[in-house]
Structure 1
């Protein structure tokens, strides 16, 4: 594409924060430490997880860059960044989460295929840009359009990067047309992140942000938008990011039997503690994040120190010192909720956290029940181990 290109090697990668835990170098995939992730409601850009499938694209002439909008519409157009910036700008605070978040815990049950993420393959940012519904008005699509006169029912986003899974071709994904044309869905063509121009890792100069949906559908480094009849046929829609039962393996898998994953389920994780902790006090602070897909709020986060026999309800918040209420007009419906509780610590115990969303969906107890060969959507109860040190025990 004029003005931007997808390199064939990794010689032009941008700098990254040294504290990131690198899970793969080429392509670069990394997440922040647990305590750093929940240090603020808005995740600093340099601590936001990095999920890539190829070398980071390079913009050499932003004036020549443009996005093509075509497919099953009567009047295809191309838009420059100036054209997009002339549309009304919206700021949407939304959490993006990789479908493989918490994959390492799933791999402990049985081997899975994918990047070995801990619990921090997500982040919460304020994205700035034009609503996709406004952009699609420019080609004659009204709000909440289900199908175009030419039979288009889906909107496909194509990147400029090069992915080995696409045999060197670009990353691509799609969402239903009705979602793309619904202004209440807050789908953005974003050119800002946390009040600043997107950096290269996160999609400069333009990316899609699809709130409430797994991060794989929020395509970065946007090249073109096509209105198509059926779902995108790209690798990451048809041969990846689908949820299979534990009985399916690589010998009997049939990708066509499952739809591409969209909304992510209710999820929470403890980030104030590591997997195994030695403490010298009788109580500990349990803090972390909870998030649900589809714009559903978090109704409750429960903490247990006795294997789930009894539970303590954690305090929930988004902004500092402002109690959170699910589906309240002042809450960010696409964003995570942070939680905090102070709990007693027996000599040796396992601390468990589980969340319930506003539709009463609750996290499953055991990872075994939701194990799948790609290791996606591990939303089982999150568990960390805590042991009292001998110094603390001698004072009992």
Structure 2
């Protein structure tokens, strides 16, 4: 793991852990805004409240017995993934300098959030479902637990889970035990860990982190920004990464295998990945794995014949709506460094 901060713990997965369809638990990235809470699963209860006719208070055992277990393979990605590329354009003080490894995939199992909300009988005027965790963040003033919300339409989609299991094992403490939300296709910040409360609301959550995860205009001061000043983040934007060769690798010239993954977000899929080694004069279409479902990454590979000297590899992805990544990180720079959807750039050197 590449550890950026020890407390709160923030670490990205190494490239070698991202080559398979499922990320091992000990290599799954960690993103936190507060110390990891330790919760007694026996005394823990989940509250379901707000604009509902039947408020609920459920133990983990009650959740397991009253609602059938479902599983979904889903890729989670931090909204700040590849922020380091944006920092190279212009500095972004106070933010974690994520490389391309703030992304991982797991098989999640738990109760369908839609089933739980149906039992609580969400009222027609509810338009958003908010989540509140147990991790108390000092980043907010005054300090508050991490939280956020998603629209009711997303919350009641079949893929959204209240997960108690990860890769066939009990959910680890570091990843939200005893229970977390998993919102496939949306930024990782909406998959709230150490879940304490689910609240049906008429408006989006007023939690600090609901609006903090927004893209501000380039000229904005992030320390003075108010809710509504930016574009609140939800569905993941299209993303692509080069896994092999590694950054600044020195390789023999000639045929070279280039591999990576791409992720479309929401319920879209990746339709195509193109790779160039000559600044876009020519592009080669990579072989692309089919998606397991619309919420997982897709791995790709191609072989290019590389000449001696310094090479900049560029990989760009297209999604199923024909949206394509912009070529330069400079075009998507923003003062919080979120949603870097620019094409992946990698510098290597080839020996004669």
Q: Which band: TM-score by shorter chain?
A: over 0.9
Q: Runs of 4 or more off by more than 3 Å in structure 1?
A: 249-255
SS, match of residue 120 in structure 2: coil
Q: Report the equivalent of 2:299.
A: 338
* 1:71 counterpart = 2:50: yes
* 1:350 counterpart = 2:312: yes
Q: Report the equivalent of 1:11.
A: none
The CA deviation string for residues 276-310 of structure 1, in whole angstroms up to 9 with x for no partner, is: 12112412211111001112111001110111111
- Residue among 247, 271, 282 paired with 1:275: 247
Q: Structure 2 unaligned segments of length 5 or more: list them.
A: none
Asked if the contact 2:13/2:103 (under 8 Å) is kept, the reply is: no
* 1:210 counterpart = 2:177: no
- Residue among 7, 24, 32 paired with 2:13: 32
Question: Within 5 A, what are the aligned runs for 1:86-105?
Answer: 86=65, 87-105=67-85
SS, match of residue 219 in structure 2: coil
Q: Report the equivalent of 1:256.
A: 228
1:367, CA displacement in angstroms?
A: 0.8
- Residue among 244, 258, 271 paired with 2:216: 244
1:74, CA displacement in angstroms?
A: 2.1
Asked if the contact 2:270/2:320 (under 8 Å) is kept, the reply is: yes
Asked if the contact 1:245/1:370 (under 8 Å) is kept, the reply is: no
SS, match of residue 276 in structure 1: coil
* 1:188 counterpart = 2:161: yes
SS, match of residue 138 in structure 1: helix
Q: Report the equivalent of 1:297.
A: 269
Asked if the contact 1:180/1:187 (under 8 Å) is kept, the reply is: yes
| TM-score, length basis structure 1 | 0.85
Distance 1:57 1:250 in 2: 28
RMSD: 1.5
1:251, CA displacement in angstroms?
A: 7.7
1:250, CA displacement in angstroms?
A: 4.2
The CA deviation string for residues 342-364 of structure 1, in whole angstroms up to 9 with x for no partner, is: 11111122111000000101101
SS, match of residue 63 in structure 1: coil
1:42, CA displacement in angstroms?
A: 0.4
1:83, CA displacement in angstroms?
A: 1.6
Aligned residues: 348
Q: Report the equivalent of 1:232.
A: 205
Asked if the contact 2:318/2:325 (under 8 Å) is kept, the reply is: yes
* 1:378 counterpart = 2:351: no
**Which stretch of structure 1 is more off in the superposition, 154-163 or 267-276?**
267-276
1:37, CA displacement in angstroms?
A: 2.0
**Which stretch of structure 1 is more off in the superposition, 204-213 or 169-178?**
169-178
* 1:363 counterpart = 2:344: no
- Residue among 279, 290, 313 paired with 2:285: 313
Distance 1:365 1:314 in 2: 17
Q: Structure 1 unaligned segments of length 5 or more: list them.
A: 1-19, 142-147, 318-323
Distance 1:296 1:161 in 2: 31
Change (3 A) 1:55 1:287: same
